Amino acid sequence: MDREALFQQIKKKNSYLCIGLDTDLEKIPQHLRSTADPIFEFNKQIIDATHEYCVAYKPNIAFYEALGPKGWESLQKTMDYIPKGLFTIADAKRGDIGNTSALYARTFFEYFNFDSVTVAPYMGEDSVKPFLYKDKWVILLAHTSNPGSSDFQLIESVVTGRKLYEEVLLKSQRWATPDQLMYVVGATQAEKMESIRAQAPEHFFLVPGIGAQGGDLKMVSQYGMNAQCGLLVNSARAIIYASNGQDFAQRARQEAVNVRDEMARHLQDYYK
Amino acid sequence: MDREALFQQIKKKNSYLCIGLDTDLEKIPQHLRSTADPIFEFNKQIIDATHEYCVAYKPNIAFYEALGPKGWESLQKTMDYIPKGLFTIADAKRGDIGNTSALYARTFFEYFNFDSVTVAPYMGEDSVKPFLYKDKWVILLAHTSNPGSSDFQLIESVVTGRKLYEEVLLKSQRWATPDQLMYVVGATQAEKMESIRAQAPEHFFLVPGIGAQGGDLKMVSQYGMNAQCGLLVNSARAIIYASNGQDFAQRARQEAVNVRDEMARHLQDYYK
């Protein structure tokens, strides 16, 4: 999917919501556990209930890998089930090089047909290049918002005065265009979001880990949006585990609608 | 496996060779391709031929993932086949956090029963902690030797004067002991290997990407060894693809023996 198509979908749906399919056997409703493929059955019902209100799905690959070959099959069925036109993200955070990364690219882009894959920058350009396919995307870790993000990402270069995550933002823009490259940018403070947007004005940001409807979404939208929206805001647990009863899909839909409604307001504010 | 057991094995076999099982359907001998599980059949014959001359096997996870559920099964069979006492490394370079990393740990340590997994440090402490199991190992990327390694790993901190990879080496030593943590250290120049060893005197280093018998092995051994050897030197293609004919296993054995012989000399030099 190209950038324009993604933006068109965002405008049409009034949503830049990405739903994280962090599907965990231990967290899905009891009544699904006796089905032949509980993981897929759960995803299927979540997708049915939410696909009108989100623009992307992001299976967290760890959850599928942890189940061995069976998990791989559930992932494949899930990918086949996601309606055409929705953007798909393999949240795999792969960070290898050369031939190895080329194989990861083949797995996620060709075998599973994902639109994008999350990638870690530590090994540099060789970690990014193998993922540059036509109409596919690398989503590179830039500034995450976990506690450990400050361990290395904030180290400031004696040469450039820039922090590590800023070096990642700037250097990687030489390797790929905003039509092939997005960044993972955690919801930190407003000033930081504003400065990151200034350093990568055209790129889409995948923003994980924000409370589904808290002040964070407002801040991220206010300081992170660009002329083509430029945001995919991920919510996983708050939506997919809104209930663990018979009504889980209905409740997931309601949560997705609520987020979509708030996103519609932010889009209107920005594009008014 | 604990550090002492690994060292005992190294002394017994006079080898610190790790064989990379980067098993590629397109590179294995023609006559294996018609077997039911060519990947496993190849690994099995390689393991039979080489396990007396190496102390570790390192399946490169990308090669198995790329084959979908079938690849996962080949990996499982390979792990079941590797003789007890050999150290196993899941070369997966995972770099996520919290719950997600805990699932990767479960996959590689519990499901497949690997002794260790390679991990990327970009997200900081949260990326390492979930992999701290009893008698299991995190092998953290420190200084790699690919061309892109200089993109970020050499950024020098304005505060400490240390390079990013040195920050990784020093900070991560607060998170785990030398009995739980190894480092990926590429074969660069002698001075660098010497300085890295000084910064992590007790840790094992996994050294990939060196020519099987070139001067690199001598340099790495001379400047990287410590009182418990402290080195696992990986060779993949030079051994497993030494021939792609009927004699592939025999030739792999010969290559492994050659490397072992050179390693035996380096061990003798160090411990004389």
Q: pLDDT by residue (tens digit) across A196-233?
A: 999 999 999 999 977 644 568 999 999 999 999 999 99
Contact B68 A66 (CB under 8 A): no
Provide, as residue numbers in chain B, all residues whose Cβ is less than 8 Å from the Cβ of A103. 62-63, 65-66
Distance CA B69, CA B169 (A): 36
The answer to whether B234 touches B261, Cβ cutoff 8 Å, is no
Of B104, B120, B167, the CB nearest to A95: B120
Please list the ranges in chain B whose pLDDT falls under 70.
211-215
Provide, as residue numbers in chain B, all residues whose Cβ is less than 8 Å from the Cβ of A151. 121, 124-125, 167, 171
Q: Distance between the two ends of chain B, CA-based, in angstroms?
A: 27
Please list the ranges in chain A whose pLDDT falls under 50.
212-213
At residue B212, the pLDDT reads 47
Provide, as residue numbers in chain A, all residues whose Cβ is less than 8 Å from the Cβ of B66. 103-104, 106-107, 111
Q: Which of A11, A44, A77, A93 is catalytic?
A: A93
Contact B69 A72 (CB under 8 A): yes
Hey, which residues of B are catalytic here? 93
Measured in angstroms, the CA of B158 and the nearest CA of chain A are apart by: 4
Domain residue spans in chain A?
3-271
Largest CA distance in chain A: 59
Span B3-271: which CATH code? 3.20.20.70
Interface check A25 vs B, CB under 8 A: no
Interface check A170 vs B, CB under 8 A: no
Which of B 192-251 lie inside 8 A of A, CB atoms? none
DSSP assignment of B208-242 equals: -S--SSSHHHHHHHHHH-BTTB-EEEEE-HHHHTS
Provide, as residue numbers in chain B, all residues whose Cβ is less than 8 Å from the Cβ of A127. 148
Provide, as residue numbers in chain A, all residues whose Cβ is less than 8 Å from the Cβ of B26. none
Of A66, A100, A126, the CB nearest to B106: A66
In the structure encoding, which two tokens stand for residue A181, read together?
């490259």
Q: Using only C-alpha atoms, what is the Rg of chain B?
A: 18
- Tallying the residues shown for chain A, one arrives at 272
At residue A212, the pLDDT reads 47
At residue A213, the pLDDT reads 43
Of B72, B151, B167, the CB nearest to A69: B72
Provide, as residue numbers in chain B, all residues whose Cβ is less than 8 Å from the Cβ of A123. 120, 141, 144, 146, 148-149, 153
In the structure encoding, which two tokens stand for residue A94, read together?
């792969």
Interface check A189 vs B, CB under 8 A: no
Interface test with A, best of B100, B155, B156, B157 (most A CBs within 10 A): B155
Contact A155 B146 (CB under 8 A): no
At residue A210, the pLDDT reads 72
The answer to whether B109 touches B133, Cβ cutoff 8 Å, is yes
At residue A214, the pLDDT reads 53
Distance CA B229, CA B16 (A): 8
CA dihedral B131, B135, B138, B143 (to 10 degrees): 160
The answer to whether A231 touches A205, Cβ cutoff 8 Å, is yes
